[in-house]
Chain A
Amino acid sequence: MNFVLSRQIPRKDTVFLSNHSYKRNMTKFSNVFSRYILAMAGKSPWGSDGSGGNKRGSGSGGDDSNGGPRNPWQPGGQPAGGRKSSNIEDLFKKGRNMGGGGSGGGFTGLPRRPNGKSYVPIIIAVVIVLWLVMTSFHRIALEEEGVVTQLGAYNRTVQSGLQLTLPAPFERMQKVNVQEIRTVPIGSTETSSENLVLTSDQNIIDMAYEVRWSISDPERYLFQIQDPEETIREVAESAMRAAVANFELISAIGPGRSDIEAQVRSRMQELLNQYNSGITVQGVAIKQSDPPEEVNDAFRAVNAAQQKRESYINNARAYAQQILERAEGDTAAFDKVFEQYRLAPEVTRRRMYYDTMENVLGKVDKTIVEPGGVQTYLPLPEVRQRSRPAAQPQAATGGE
């Protein structure tokens, strides 16, 4: 066991060492490179962003230069305060060593090309080319237009496609989406929030609406108005209130809606044109235009009253129908009988009389009282009881 271990360690060391110089070069390179990149981006290489990368890079370099294996007790990525400063010192030290007293100037620590010249010009050239490409070629999407300013002054507006400009400080490109229809919602349909608007008859309605707009003139949109969205919101609100103030409550919550929408739209467009804003109002949609929650019950009561009125009328019509049909029926029957009666009045009359009497008296209890001969005593309750034995069977048994 021991033997194996002792044999392994030197082997590992050699591997490390051969790795070491290459790795160190790479570290240097990445350090310098990132410093340049960051400088180009206008950030300090020692700033919060850049220093992390540097630390990590130099950290590993420092470890390697110690020659031994990585300290297993030291967590790899931890940028501890003490280690940081020593690493930076290491870096400078190493830089000096690398320079080796050469005459190449102060830029010590830079790797060299095989022919001994510095990489710096190449790096600068690459960066410049990248920057040229990035800032002079612009891909403008189908729905966009590009506004080009030349040293701050408006120069031209270009259509979609691949567009060329001068590089960054000389020309700038601002892309504006001219197709997109944006919406600004005002008020909400939820009951919790109310956006109250006064109508011409001094009633109040709760409104929610949406303004759809798009950019018609990108350069005006960019240069004319400070806060376009807020401007649209304010203009919409003022136009809506002015429009609703011309409508009465009943029309504002119902049939007048589309008129209001049209009025608001044209009024808004007028104002925005006056501001030279480069904005087109596509439309105004009223999502809600109701009486406020507090009085909604009263409005429902009106609806209920309307329903009730309909039902009153329907009932009356039904009654009228019924009574007229009955009148028709009754008179038709009378007319028929009368026709026959006219032919033989006396007989018909008698026949009808007997028919009726038969019909009537046949079903009822009859008592015939001879006047004079008998003392007429009418046991009326008994008569009554007899007449409905079925109706009060219990009372009858109870009585017995």
Chain B
Amino acid sequence: MPTFNIKSPYVIGIFVLLALILTSMTVFIVPEDKQAIVVSYGKPKRVVNEYQPDVTFGQTEAGVHFRIPLVEQIAWIDKRILGVEMERQEVLSTDQLRLQVDAFARFRITDPLIMYRRIRTEERLKTQLRTILGSSLRNELGKRSFATLLSPERGQVMNNIQTALNTEANKYGAEIIDVRIKRADLPEGTPLASAYERMRSARNQEAVTIDAEGRKEAQVIRAEADAQAARIYAESYSKDADFYDFYRAMESYRTTFDNENAENGETSVILSPDNDYLRQFSGRR
């Protein structure tokens, strides 16, 4: 056994170590984003760095604090804004439409002491809030029609839910900052399929309408053209109706008896000598 020497680096080291351990037991550092509850034998005694609205960082109680070693323990509670997400669930609206809704809430623990006494951990608080959020959402949406959710009234719905949730959350020392519906969808399967069917039929209706409209417009254009043409013809031909009759007849003969044109078919003409064309043929005068 070597002699005990107070100046030996070993001894110094051990003292330093002891001092460090003692310090770490008495001193604790509270970061900006945490609230600390000092618990003595399971009884919460005081809160350090409790959330205060409108206090800038640096002015808070974050920093070094002391405790009685072994007697006082520290329970850490988040100071930041926390989120709780409600799992997707089906809600029945007043018009008997089923909706799949998921929502989220943002909250902050404003009274860590109450929160610690009532529910102890953040996780349990979140579970609790999730349940409350679900039920207040169902209650509120059950009073509304499906269309409300797709209208500016949605904001009002959210406010109601937030108020309801906040009253509950206050009992646990938390404050709800915001509640939002993330999704409000039709459930998979029949409701979604029928919505698709509705969309499809609406599109078909539009397609058929457009088609019919096109036909109508085309018809109008044709009719207008026909009328215009008739006017042009009438204007010109009515100068001498008798001559028109003759002129048109000549033109017509030429086209109908035209053998060159295959469409006309074959033409054989059997003439009577009395025919006007053959007047000179028979030597009559």
Which A residues are closer than 8 A to B by beta carbons? 103, 105-107, 118, 120-121, 149-156, 196, 198-200, 202-204, 219-220, 222-227, 230-231, 234-235, 237-238, 241-242, 245-246, 249, 271, 274-277, 291-292, 294-295, 297-299, 301-302, 304-306, 308-313, 315-317, 319-321, 323-324, 326-328, 330-331, 334-335, 337-338, 341-342, 345, 349, 352-357, 359-361, 363-371, 378, 383-384, 387-388
Contact = CB atoms under 8 A, between A and B. Distances in A.
B200 A298 contact: yes
28 contacts: A105-B2, A151-B63, A154-B32, A203-B199, A241-B184, A274-B177, A291-B199, A295-B199, A295-B200, A298-B199, A298-B200, A298-B204, A316-B217, A316-B220, A316-B222, A317-B221, A320-B222, A320-B224, A331-B236, A334-B237, A352-B250, A353-B246, A356-B254, A360-B257, A361-B269, A364-B268, A365-B269, A366-B271
Q: In the A-B complex, list the 3 residue pairs whose CB atoms are closest, starting with the nearest.
A: A309-B214, A320-B225, A298-B203
Contacts of B235: 331
Given A118-B9, A121-B9, A298-B203, A327 B229 contact: yes
Contact of A364 (B63, B267, B273): B267
Main secondary structure of the interface of A (DSSP, over half): helix
Contacts of B30: 152-153
Contact of A154 (B62, B240, B253): B62
Interface stretch (B76-84, B133-141, B165-173): B76-84
A200 B270 CA distance: 79
Interface of B: 2-3, 5, 8-10, 29-33, 57-58, 60, 62-64, 78-83, 85, 104, 106, 146-147, 149-152, 154-155, 177-178, 180-186, 192, 195-196, 199-200, 202-204, 206-208, 210-211, 213-215, 217-222, 224-226, 228-230, 232-233, 235-237, 239-240, 243-244, 246-247, 250, 253-254, 257-260, 266-274, 277-278
A249 B202 CA distance: 11
A151 B221 contact: no
Nearest to B32: A223
Nearest to A200: B150
Nearest to A367: B270
Contacts of B196: 204, 292, 294-295
A291 B274 CA distance: 80
Contacts of A354: 277
Contacts of A295: 196, 199-200, 203
B268 A154 contact: no
Contacts of B273: 368-371
A274 B177 CA distance: 8
A220 B55 CA distance: 12
Given A153-B62, A154-B57, A274-B178, A301 B204 contact: yes
A354 B253 CA distance: 12
A225 B154 contact: no
B8 to A, nearest CB: 5
A180 B45 CA distance: 44
B35 to A, nearest CB: 12
Contacts of A274: 177-178
B229 A364 contact: no
A305 B207 contact: yes
Contact of A224 (B5, B81, B85, B203): B81
Nearest to A328: B232
Contact of B268 (A319, A327, A383): A383
B32 A149 contact: yes
B64 A367 contact: no
Nearest to A271: B178
Given A149-B31, A275-B106, A331 B2 contact: no
A319 B29 CA distance: 90
B182 A238 contact: yes
Given A237-B183, A334-B247, A354-B277, 6 more contacts: A105-B5, A231-B106, A305-B206, A305-B210, A319-B225, A371-B273
A361 B267 CA distance: 10
Contacts of B220: 316
Contact of A150 (B63, B213, B243): B63
A309 B212 CA distance: 8
B172 to A, nearest CB: 17
Contacts of B215: 312
B81 A225 contact: yes
A229 B199 CA distance: 35
Contacts of A301: 203-204, 207
A226 B81 contact: yes
B208 A305 contact: yes
Contacts of B180: 234-235, 238, 271
A313 B83 contact: no
A103 B7 CA distance: 13
Contacts of A335: 236, 239
Nearest to A240: B182
Nearest to A157: B57
Contacts of B272: 368-369, 371
Contacts of A360: 253-254, 257-258
A100 to B, nearest CB: 13
A125 B13 CA distance: 14
A46 to B, nearest CB: 18
Contacts of B254: 356, 359-360
Contacts of B9: 105, 107, 118, 120-121
B268 A365 contact: yes
B283 to A, nearest CB: 14
A159 B21 CA distance: 36
A306 B9 CA distance: 93
Contacts of B278: 368
Given A225-B81, A241-B183, A308-B214, A369 B271 contact: yes
B199 A312 contact: no
Nearest to B217: A313
